[in-house]
Amino acid sequence: MKNNAFTLGDNPTIEEFALVAAGALKVVFTPVVRGRVALARKELGILLKKNSTMYGINTGFGQLATERVSDENLRRLQVNLIRSHACGVGAPLTAEQARGLMFARANELARAHSGVRPLIVEKLAEFLNKGLVPYIPSKGSVGASGDLAPSAHMALCLIGEGRARIAGGSKLRDWAPSGKVLKALKIKPVELAEKEGLALINGTQAMQAVGGLALYDALKLYNAAVLTGAVSVEALKGTPAAFDERIHLLKPHRGQVEAASMLLELLKGSEIRASHKRDDKRVQDPYSLRCMPQVLGAVRDAVEYALNTVETEFASVTDNPLLVWHKGAKTQRRKNGLEVLSGGNFHGQALAFAFDFAAIAVTAMGNMSERRIAQLVSDFKILPPFLAKNPGLESGFMIAHVTAAALASENKILSHPASADSIPTSANKEDFVSMGMSAALKLGTIVENVAKITAIELLAAAQGVEFHRPLRSGARIEDALARLRRIAPGFRGDEEFSVRIETVAQAILDGYFLV
């Protein structure tokens, strides 16, 4: 970062990526980086004058790569590519996802391996800094040859076509023709030159944005899940004995040790536990309480692995073909020092595996939360049936648990790995694909579902703790309960649940319950 802005061409962390996507961090295109991009473009021009055959620059695309395109049609080729590939369908990406895609694309082009003019990077930076949100349908990518359809919809805005809006309180916060939006932002559309259309759409930027932001939310969700599990232990008068460090050092997975430590810290100073005389027959708590470090810690490790994969992709060049310096070239100022190589860096297999792995892990976290909700509504020795103040007359959390069960079951379907599939496209030229965008989209849905399951558990566990008043929990849990009650009051009887569940779930994803 430079002067509280992200320098295009650097390697962003997931936090920086999320900040730019949210519009909370500007981007800068420095003179040094601009010079590298300009030099690569100049070298590409030299190769074009040599009349060399270069995929996607003076040939058709995919199976049509054998078709040579005349010099006078090279620019038209790039515009045709964007228009023909803008065939996505379905609900549009969120503003953060769409801007994340745009940021990832601008950042990669700034690495000077795509051969675009500096003007293209400058325009994308201007789009980001002025709050433009391109209309990008969410479906239409198989995750190889890159996220072609989603990226093509983004690229339409550069040439003044497609739709867009302005983030925030602008009059143009609803979708409008991008030409109108560009005019409002005082941005001129561009005329694409050789290679630029292909460079704008070939790569893993859509899945980076959708899956990366879902993982960032999953980190915040994990923290809230640990906190919520601790509140459930309090409500059910469980024991922290299973979180003893000596147990976990005998199975020292990093996430497990961390989760056990967090749970112990949260449960310190509880009057509820101190006053409770445990039933002699209840030697151990159920797995959903006792095994939280082993399960939640494994989730943390899986999400960390996926995040490392995404941050590696943030630091990658995924275009095709690529401009690379000749082996042995000692300086990038050497004339004719570049060559154009075709490869497969656009293939999203690493991301697809990472998102599928994370989806399975977050699903398991939601399944365990649902089981704790079941304990909260059915342990009649410790809490009233269904946490109702007047059982029978009132149903309490009976159907809130059903909602959690429905979401958990939906996640089990969604956690089937997208990366286990492949479907050939482009007349079998693209015969093995990653399905990485599908993996990213369903991970996002799973994270949202588990945030709602966790919200239900937190509301139920808080209600359970409050049944034990005047006894109080330790300071950390009491602080969390106070924060919860600022956004979701306790239930005084049977009341509508939906708004409170949605409110708490959104707060979880916003990082309101970080521990």
pLDDT per residue as tens digits for the range 281-293: 566 899 999 999 9
CA atoms within 13 A on the CB side of 237: 21
What's the average model confidence in pLDDT over 225-252? 97
Domain map (residue ranges) of the chain? 5-202, 213-310+346-509
pLDDT tens-digit profile of 474-492? 999 999 999 999 999 999 9
Residue whose C-alpha is closest to residue 222's, from 258, 196, 247: 258
Lowest mean pLDDT among 97-101, 149-153, 214-218, 328-332: 328-332
What percentage of the chain exceeds 70 in pLDDT? 95
Whether the CB-CB separation of 460 and 382 falls below 8 Å is answered with no
Average pLDDT score, the chain: 93
**Would the pLDDT of 171 be above 80?**
no
For residue 152, CA distances in Å to 186, 363, 452 come to 22, 32, 33
CA dihedral of 401, 406, 412, 416, whole degrees rounded to 10: -150
pLDDT tens-digit profile of 2-48? 669 999 999 999 999 999 999 999 999 999 999 999 999 999 888 88
Catalytic residues: 55
CATH number of 5-202: 1.10.275.10
Dihedral sign, CA of 25, 513, 295, 361? negative
pLDDT tens-digit profile of 32-45? 999 999 999 999 88
pLDDT tens-digit profile of 176-185? 999 999 999 9
**Would the pLDDT of 330 be above 60?**
no
**Would the pLDDT of 74 be above 50?**
yes
Contacts of residue 498, Cβ cutoff 8 Å, sequence gap at least 6: none
**Would the pLDDT of 167 be above 80?**
yes
One fold for 5-202 and 213-310+346-509: no
pLDDT of residue 280: 43
Q: In the beta sheet, which residues pair with residue 137? A: 92
pLDDT tens-digit profile of 98-107? 999 999 999 9
What's the average model confidence in pLDDT over 349-367? 98
Q: Pairing between strand 176-177 and 338-341?
A: unpaired
**Would the pLDDT of 332 be above 50?**
no
**Would the pLDDT of 61 be above 90?**
no
Q: Cite the DSSP H helix spans in 131-268.
A: 148-158, 178-184, 196-201, 205-235, 245-248, 254-266
Neighbours of 175 (CB within 10 A): 15
- Tell me how far apart the alpha carbons of residues 338 and 489 are, in angstroms, rounded to a whole number: 64
Task: Tell me the helix, strand and coil percentages in the chain, rounded to 5.
Answer: 55, 5, 35
pLDDT of residue 71: 77
- Tell me how far apart the alpha carbons of residues 217 and 228 are, in angstroms, rounded to a whole number: 16
- Tell me how far apart the alpha carbons of residues 105 and 157 are, in angstroms, rounded to a whole number: 14
- What token pair was written down for 356? 């599928």
For residue 322, CA distances in Å to 19, 46, 118, 381, 514 come to 29, 15, 16, 67, 42
What percentage of the chain exceeds 90 in pLDDT? 82
- The b-or-e profile of 234-256 (16+ CB within 10 A means b, else e) is bbbbbbbebbeeeebeeeeeebb
pLDDT of residue 336: 54
What's the average model confidence in pLDDT over 337-343? 86
CATH class of 213-310+346-509: mainly alpha
Q: 279: pLDDT confidence band, cut at 50, 70 and 90?
A: very low
pLDDT of residue 73: 82
